[in-house]
């Protein structure tokens, strides 16, 4: 358990530094949001003292104080759950974020599990049927093409064609208007149906990395002596495939789950806004367009927190799956 | 000297062998070459200047025509300018941002990884901490915030954009270079170099770096892919200056302003920039993969052994 505690403390330190450095970069850059907001208020004819107080109320720090005091004050706000007030919605940023979080958790974890499962299956198939050149060539070509399509482009194309033009799948909003949100079967079915297209985009653009990684691992393992020995012992090939090859191929790239999680989380900025879904990504995208700085920085900090938690979770579960990780230096 | 040139010839022969084996790779190289030539043609001024903005529905998204051949063969875009011309004007700027950003990413990543891995001790502890913190900050996320808050005159600066798009992108390369440096440090030739009296800097940036050159070259290409993703993707969100020569802005306008949702009027304006981006990314990813093959020692010995 000592090992888990050390991991947690290390993550906390990384989170603190990442948030601090980001805040300092934002505050020290030529576009300090507090100053931009102050200029905006002054242009509206608001007296200077009142404008300074308004900026402080919205974003949590005043444009007049030195950089270290802005940083400390904002960090204190983050720790106490006070992220300022949204300029466009006029409600606390923390409340906006709390409403958005469940949607993003659902979208990202749904896409992540599908990506990993399908990616592993395709990767194992690529390695197992490697003698079938036509199969390997065609699958590899398709994967490379999807690897080269940015996820926001695939989202735009699916939105325009599968959604708006051909009307094959829902392409706007998280559920249809005729269901009542809550824990009923109709609502859940409607949400899953509406998230089909966005999830397809997420999964199709993130599968190649997993498939290529797993297939490289599995190809190496297939050449190992213990596979030959297992075959010689007459073990059924399904057992060799799942217990011997698949499990050993996943272990070395298990940590990639955290990387894919981060990648999908960042992807929500484009995908949630494209398909008009609620969530952290669309909140960031819409408030960026409206220059709503308190919300932007608040969502940014929450996303960093989610990434640190995702990495910690991956590390801890990996330690339980593979005890060797617990004694290693990392 | 002759030993060196013979080695070089051998390496070139190997590179040629890998290229000739794969038609996709050959295709990718031709594609990249076309983009580079197009960029040079624009930079050297062989392309007519962009005509002025023409407002009004009648000028937007006109169908293809043979007027001023070949510039109007894709019709016009949302500002009434010829689409083909705006796409070609996007090439030098996109390539410049991508290449500069890749240079910064790879330069910083390699230097930090090498120093952390080779020097070790407290320096390694501090640099490793910096790498781990940077790894938790996704580049496009911080880049998005910075692109929004930076004043407009900085947002159009190629160097600033390149810096923003590589702000924490160097971290994963730094981690990999550090691990490889630690492994290489234990090899005998480093001890030999030390005994001869080579300084730390010479060993790091000459002896150790030489072994990682193909890996670093591969990362240079992959960093270009990442920078193009960020540059066009942030423009698609409407956060970059709305210049007509950004492919992300062109796709954004085709969907939001061109009615691509309901009609085929802007179909060329939607698909031309999409194909331009995907083709470039596809070519770069294939070239990076080939470099990985050159880097992969097993495959290299296999190909060299076949030659003998």
Q: What's the pLDDT tens digit per position in B199-250?
A: 888 888 888 888 888 889 999 999 999 999 999 999 999 998 888 889 999 9
- Hey, are the CB atoms on B150 and A31 less than 8 Å from each other? yes
pLDDT of residue B56: 72
Which residue range is the domain that position B104 belongs to?
Answer: 80-307
Q: Tell me the ipTM for this assembly.
A: 0.91
CATH of the domain at B164: 1.10.3720.10
Please give the average per-residue pLDDT across A38-52, as a whole number.
Answer: 90
Residue B5 lies in a domain: no
pLDDT of residue A328: 53
Please name the helix (run of DSSP H) or strand (run of DSSP E) that holds residue A181, with its range, or none: none
The domain tally of chain B equals: 1
CA distance B278 to chain A (A): 5
Question: Percentage of chain A with pLDDT > 90?
Answer: 60
Question: Percentage of chain B with pLDDT > 90?
Answer: 50
pLDDT of residue A286: 93
Please tell me if residue A308 touches chain B, with a CB cutoff of 8 Å: yes
pLDDT of residue B186: 83
- Hey, are the CB atoms on B149 and A273 less than 8 Å from each other? no
Pick the range with the lowest mean pLDDT from A266-275, B48-57, B209-218, B276-285: B48-57
Closest in A26, A153, A273 to B145, CB measured: A26
Q: How far is Cα A290 from Cα A166, in angstroms, rounded to an integer?
A: 32
Residue A12 reports pLDDT greater than 90: yes
Report in angstroms the alpha-carbon separations of B93 from B40, B77, B80, B240, B287: 11, 19, 21, 14, 21
Please tell me if residue A36 touches chain B, with a CB cutoff of 8 Å: yes
Residue ranges of the domains in chain A? Answer: 93-326
Please tell me if residue A274 touches chain B, with a CB cutoff of 8 Å: no
Pick the range with the lowest mean pLDDT from A15-29, A94-108, A255-269, B257-271: B257-271
Residue A149 reports pLDDT greater than 90: yes
Predicted model pTM: 0.91
Residue B216 lies in a domain: yes
Q: How far is Cα B212 from Cα A264, in angstroms, rounded to an integer?
A: 30
Tell me the per-residue pLDDT of B161-192, one tens digit each, with 9 for 90 and over.
999 999 999 999 999 999 999 988 888 888 88
For B174, counting Cβ atoms within 10 Å of its Cβ (0-12 exposed, 13-18 middle, 19+ buried), the class is buried
Please tell me if residue A290 touches chain B, with a CB cutoff of 8 Å: no
Place A211 in a pLDDT band, splitting at 50, 70 and 90.
very high
* Domain covering A93-326, topology: MetI-like fold (1.10.3720)
User: Cis omega before residue B299 (within 30°)?
Assistant: no
Please give the average per-residue pLDDT across A225-247, as a whole number.
Answer: 89
């Amino acid at each position: 358990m000592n090992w888990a505690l050390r991991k947690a403390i290390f993550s906390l330190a990384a989170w603190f530094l990442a948030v601090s450095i980001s805040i300092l970069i934002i505050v020290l850059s030529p576009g300090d949001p507090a100053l931009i907001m102050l200029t905006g208020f002054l242009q509206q004819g608001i007296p200077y003292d009142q404008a300074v107080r308004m900026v402080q109320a919205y974003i949590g720090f005043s444009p007049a104080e030195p950089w270290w005091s802005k940083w400390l004050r904002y960090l204190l706000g983050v720790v106490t759950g006070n992220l300022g007030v949204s300029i466009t919605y006029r409600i606390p940023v923390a409340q906006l974020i709390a409403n958005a979080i469940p949607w993003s958790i659902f979208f990202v974890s749904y896409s992540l599990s599908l990506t990993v499962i399908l990616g592993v299956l395709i990767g194992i198939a690529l390695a197992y049927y490697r003698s079938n050149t036509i199969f390997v060539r065609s699958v590899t070509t398709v994967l490379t093409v999807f690897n080269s399509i940015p996820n926001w482009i695939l989202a735009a194309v699916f939105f325009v064609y599968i959604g708006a033009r051909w009307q094959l799948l829902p392409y706007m909003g998280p559920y249809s208007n005729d269901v009542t949100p809550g824990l009923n079967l109709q609502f859940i079915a409607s949400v899953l149906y509406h998230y089909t297209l966005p999830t397809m985009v997420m999964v199709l653009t993130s599968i190649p990395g997993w498939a290529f990684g797993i297939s490289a691992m599995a190809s190496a393992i297939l050449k190992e002596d213990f596979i030959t020995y297992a075959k010689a012992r007459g073990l059924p090939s399904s057992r060799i495939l799942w217990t011997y090859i698949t499990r050993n191929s996943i272990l070395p790239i298990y940590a990639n789950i955290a990387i894919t999680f981060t990648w999908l989380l960042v992807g929500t900025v484009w995908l949630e806004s494209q398909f008009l879904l609620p969530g952290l990504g669309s909140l960031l995208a819409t408030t960026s367009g409206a220059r709503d700085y308190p919300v932007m920085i608040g969502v940014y900090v929450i996303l960093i927190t989610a990434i640190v938690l995702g990495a910690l979770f991956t590390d801890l579960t990996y330690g339980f799956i593979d005890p060797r990780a617990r004694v290693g230096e990392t | 000297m002759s030993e060196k040139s013979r080695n070089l010839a051998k390496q070139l022969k190997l590179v040629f062998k890998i290229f000739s084996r794969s038609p996709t790779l050959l295709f990718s190289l031709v594609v990249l070459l076309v983009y580079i030539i197009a960029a040079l043609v624009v930079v050297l001024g062989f392309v007519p200047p962009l005509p002025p903005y023409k407002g009004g529905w009648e000028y937007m998204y006109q169908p293809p025509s043979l007027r001023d051949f070949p510039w109007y063969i894709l019709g016009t875009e949302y500002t009434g300018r010829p689409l083909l011309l705006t796409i070609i004007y996007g090439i030098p700027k996109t390539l410049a941002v991508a290449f500069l950003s890749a240079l910064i990413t790879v330069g910083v990543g390699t230097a930090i990884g090498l120093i952390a891995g080779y020097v070790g001790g407290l320096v390694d502890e501090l640099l490793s901490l910096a790498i781990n913190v940077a790894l938790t900050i996704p580049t496009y996320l911080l880049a998005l915030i910075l692109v929004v808050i930076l004043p407009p005159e900085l947002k159009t600066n190629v160097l600033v954009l390149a810096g923003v798009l590589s702000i924490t992108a160097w971290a994963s390369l730094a981690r990999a270079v550090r691990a490889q440096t630690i492994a290489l440090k234990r090899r005998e030739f480093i001890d030999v170099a030390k005994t001869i009296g080579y300084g730390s800097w010479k060993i790091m940036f000459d002896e150790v770096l030489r072994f990682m050159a193909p890996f670093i070259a591969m990362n240079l290409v992959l960093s270009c892919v990442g920078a193009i993703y960020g540059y066009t993707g942030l423009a698609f969100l409407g956060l970059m200056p709305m210049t007509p020569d950004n492919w992300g802005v062109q796709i954004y306008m085709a969907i939001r302003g061109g009615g691509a949702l309901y009609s085929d009027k802007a179909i060329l304006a939607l698909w031309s920039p999409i194909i331009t981006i995907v083709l470039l990314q596809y070519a770069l990813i294939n070239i990076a993969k080939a470099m990985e093959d050159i880097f992969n020692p097993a495959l290299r010995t296999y190909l060299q052994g076949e030659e003998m």
